[in-house]
Amino acid sequence: MAVVYDVPATLLVARAGQKLKETGKVKAPEWAADVKTGTHRQYPPTQQDWWYTRCASILRRIYIDGPVGVQRLRTLYGGRKNRGVRPDRHERGSGSIIRDALQQLEKAGFVKSVKGGRAVTPQGMAFLDRVATEMLAEKQAPQKQAAPEVQA
């Protein structure tokens, strides 16, 4: 069985976001279409399903980093702010988006609150590991079929 570390992060997050959307355990809030993801951004995200991708990304970060709080996640999802003629600085991401995503993941049973932040539950680990296993199985299946057999 594969784990999160066996597949590329971008592909895993995209696939897990699709699965979260399909299951219906996570719902995008009404305001998600109009909000920026931080003060360092100029415009809201252009992707329609960015909320599910962010929730999957947060779930993966918590899986990897252990108990993580909102402030550390804000730092991770922050970025460089253009301040005009002054030097650029790092700005933290939106805490409201992260808190709402964590509350939804907690309600779905993927994350639980512990001392020091939030940690992934066994159900959340199983969800991400199942997605990673499916991805590896799809990657290896075409390779087995593509190898021609040599007849003697």
Q: pLDDT (tens digit, 9 = 90+) per residue, 26-59?
A: 998 888 888 888 888 888 888 888 999 999 999 9
The DSSP-derived string for 68-126 is B-HHHHHHHT-EEEP-TTSPPEEE-B-HHHHHHHHHHHHHHTSEEEETTEEEE-HHHHH
- The fold of the 4-138 domain, in CATH, is Arc Repressor Mutant, subunit A (1.10.10)
Measured CA to CA, the distance from residue 87 to residue 84 in angstroms comes to 8
Tell the residue number behind the tokens 């002054």, with chain if given.
Answer: 86
For the stretch 80-111, what's the b/e string if a residue is b when 16 or more beta carbons lie within 10 angstroms of its beta carbon?
ebeeeeeeeeebbbbeebbebbbebbeebebb
- Which pTM does this prediction carry? 0.86
The string of pLDDT tens digits covering residues 121-132 is 999 999 999 999
Write down the pLDDT at residue 144.
58
Q: What pLDDT is recorded for position 142? A: 65
Q: Tell which wins on pLDDT, 130 or 152.
A: 130
* Furthest-apart CA atoms within the chain: distance in Å: 73
Confidence of residue 146 (pLDDT cuts 50, 70, 90): low
Residue 68's pLDDT is what? 93
- Summarize pLDDT for 77-116 with one digit per residue, the tens: 999 999 999 999 999 998 899 999 999 999 999 999 999 8
Residue 143 has pLDDT above 80, yes or no: no
Where along the chain do its domains lie?
A: 4-138
What Cα–Cα distance (Å) separates residue 92 from each residue in 53, 71, 86?
19, 8, 18
Give the span between the Cα atoms of 59 and 53, in whole angstroms.
10
pLDDT for position 120 = 95
The pLDDT tens digits of the residues spanning 62-82 come to 999 989 999 999 999 999 999
* Listed residue (32, 50, 36) closest to 81, CA to CA: 36
Question: How far apart (Å, rounded) are the C-alpha atoms in residues 120 and 68?
Answer: 10
Token reading at 9: 């992060």
What mean pLDDT do residues 138-147 have?
68
pLDDT at 133 over 60: yes
